[in-house]
Amino acid sequence: MQSREQWGSRLGFVLAAAGSAVGLGNIWKFPYMAGQNGGGAFLIIYLALVFTIGLSVMLAEFAIGRAAQRNPIGAFAVLKGKMWPIVGFMGVLAGFIILSFYSVVAGWTVAYIVKMASGALVGDADTLGAAFGGFISDPVEPILYHAFFMALTVAVVLGGVHGGIERACKILMPMLFVLLIVLIGRAVTLPGAEKGLEFFLSPDFSKVTAETFNGALSQAFFSLSIGMGAMITYGSYLNKKENLAKSAVWVSALDSAVAVLAGLLILPAVFAFGFDPAAGPGLTFITLPAVFAQMPGGIFFGILFFLLLTVAALTSAVSLLQPIVAYFTDEKGWNAKVTAVVFGFVIFALGVPSSLSLGIWSDFHIIGEKGFLDSMDYIASNIMLPVGGILISLFVGWAVAGKMQSEVTNEGEKPFPLFGAWLFICRFIAPIAVAWILISGL
Ligand code: TRP
């Protein structure tokens, strides 16, 4: 067996994990979820869940991955066996489903680079809304972009974890951060933007329902890339020197910071232009071009923004494909390149009905009123990730608790004073709270 690939540096791992976490979940999904779920109250519940349950599950995944040095399925098998590898299997399946629609939306960002550059995204709010609606419902164009994005993802995975991913994260993530701040400067000074700031920052708890909790929880899992084993996989390429708890805090903090920045950018602009904050998945794509139109050098900023968003999506997509590739190479001895290409095709195919569900197949419903794309998102994000999170917590809290103290403290070298609290969350709080939110949401 060839020796397992490793991250190139300490910073490399945190950046790669943050690269996985920061993506469309933060910039496309978070603002519209906050918009649909009451703004400020959603933000507070979201952050509370991230820094309790989310952080604990992330640390659990890092610890499992590093202890086992395996893909998610193999990791459960090595550490405990019995029925546990099923958790990893469900995770790999969830990654499969998520990537299929994720790549469709990432394709939109690629298309928007081209559309910004060609000057197609001009006009008032209504024109921009119609342009977006026309584009995503087209039976051909978005699928070509989806194919292109999926090919990019496969290409990065072929480059190996630390060649491609680490380098992309080191330069482009800080750029995205800075660009967001520049754009916020424009958005919050638009006339009428104050109403959006108020909506996002001052919570109205009278609007909180079981659905708010359910939305915040699934968004937290999706945004942190937890519940399916992506972080198990990334932890498995780690040596025994890294401080796992500190890394988990960094990744969660960076991910939340980007989500909050995206909210500060999109929601004020939504109110300034008179859009509906509850409009759903088109929110970011319709609002931002309207912001760019109000800026000097707007075309330049627009191209740069969608380019960086594409890269952020790419570093996330890679973390959805990598666990699948790691499984077949670790356990079945398959060739990594062949595996990546084959599954790239299969996932592309599964994404096609998602794309069509926004146009010619929009009458075809799977869950309730939800079309194919929304149903895939719902099954994976609202059910599979939280269930995965419950099982990962129980695994760490009960099944392998004895091995975990030495794992998170690097055999006692890095003290982790909160170990007891973490174990308590994994044993009781996370499973019970997540199960409760899950059941009350259904
Ligand atoms: N967290 C990424 C985002 O916010 C998406 C993602 C990457 C993901 N890997 C994951 C979601 C694993 C769930 C599980 O865009």
Q: What is the pLDDT of residue 13?
A: 87
Closest ligand 1 atom to Cα of 23: 15
Interval between CA 216 and ligand 1 midpoint (Å): 15
Interval between CA 416 and ligand 1 midpoint (Å): 27
DSSP 228: S
Q: Is 368 exposed, middle or buried (0-12, 13-18, 19+ CB in 10 A)?
A: exposed
* Contact residues for 185 (Cβ-Cβ < 8 A; gap 6+): none
Residue in the block written with tokens 């197609």: 120
Res 125 pLDDT > 90: no
Q: What is the pLDDT of residue 170?
A: 79
| pLDDT, tens digit, 9 for 90 and up, residues 290-328 | 989 888 888 999 999 999 999 999 999 999 999 999 999
Are 434 and 220 in contact by the 8 Å Cβ rule? The answer is: no
Q: What is the pLDDT of residue 173?
A: 84
Q: What is the pLDDT of residue 3?
A: 60
Closest ligand 1 atom to Cα of 25: 4
What is the chain's mean pLDDT, rounded?
92
230 lines ligand 1 (CB under 6 A): yes
For 144, the token pair is: 């070509």
316 lines ligand 1 (CB under 6 A): yes
Are 244 and 232 in contact by the 8 Å Cβ rule? The answer is: no
197-221 mean pLDDT: 93
Alpha-carbon span 31 to 29, nearest angstrom: 6
109-114 mean pLDDT: 97
Residue 93: count of CB within 10 angstroms of its CB:
15
93-117 mean pLDDT: 97
96 lines ligand 1 (CB under 6 A): no
pTM for the model stands at: 0.95
291 lines ligand 1 (CB under 6 A): no
366-375 mean pLDDT: 90
Alpha-carbon span 101 to 230, nearest angstrom: 17
Alpha-carbon span 110 to 98, nearest angstrom: 18
Closest ligand 1 atom to Cα of 231: 12
Res 363 pLDDT > 90: no
Res 349 pLDDT > 50: yes
* Contact residues for 133 (Cβ-Cβ < 8 A; gap 6+): 282
State which H helix or E strand residue 319 sits in. helix 298-332
27 lines ligand 1 (CB under 6 A): no
Q: What is the pLDDT of residue 64?
A: 97
Give the closest residue (by CA) to ligand 1 atom 7. 316
| pLDDT, tens digit, 9 for 90 and up, residues 1-55 | 346 778 877 778 888 899 999 999 999 999 999 999 999 999 999 999 999 999 9
Give the closest residue (by CA) to ligand 1 atom 9. 225
Res 354 pLDDT > 80: yes
* Contact residues for 100 (Cβ-Cβ < 8 A; gap 6+): 347, 348, 350, 351, 354, 376
Q: What is the pLDDT of residue 259?
A: 97
Pocket-testing residue among 32, 319, 321, 381, ligand 1, by greatest number of atoms within 8 A of Cβ: 319
| pLDDT, tens digit, 9 for 90 and up, residues 258-289 | 999 999 999 999 999 989 999 888 899 999 99
**Confidence at 122, pLDDT banded by 50, 70, 90:** confident
Q: What is the pLDDT of residue 159?
A: 83
233 lines ligand 1 (CB under 6 A): no
66-80 mean pLDDT: 95
* Contact residues for 93 (Cβ-Cβ < 8 A; gap 6+): 384
| pLDDT, tens digit, 9 for 90 and up, residues 392-413 | 999 999 999 989 999 999 988 8
Higher-scoring residue by pLDDT: 362, 398 = 398
* Contact residues for 134 (Cβ-Cβ < 8 A; gap 6+): none
Pocket-testing residue among 28, 57, 222, ligand 1, by greatest number of atoms within 8 A of Cβ: 222
Percent of the chain whose predicted confidence (pLDDT) is above 70: 98
Helix, strand, or coil (residue 430): helix
Q: What is the pLDDT of residue 2?
A: 46
Alpha-carbon span 362 to 354, nearest angstrom: 10
Q: What is the pLDDT of residue 161?
A: 67
21 lines ligand 1 (CB under 6 A): yes
* Contact residues for 123 (Cβ-Cβ < 8 A; gap 6+): 131, 293
Alpha-carbon span 384 to 375, nearest angstrom: 12
State which H helix or E strand residue 131 sits in. helix 125-136
Closest ligand 1 atom to Cα of 380: 13
* Contact residues for 95 (Cβ-Cβ < 8 A; gap 6+): 228, 229, 230, 320, 321, 323, 324
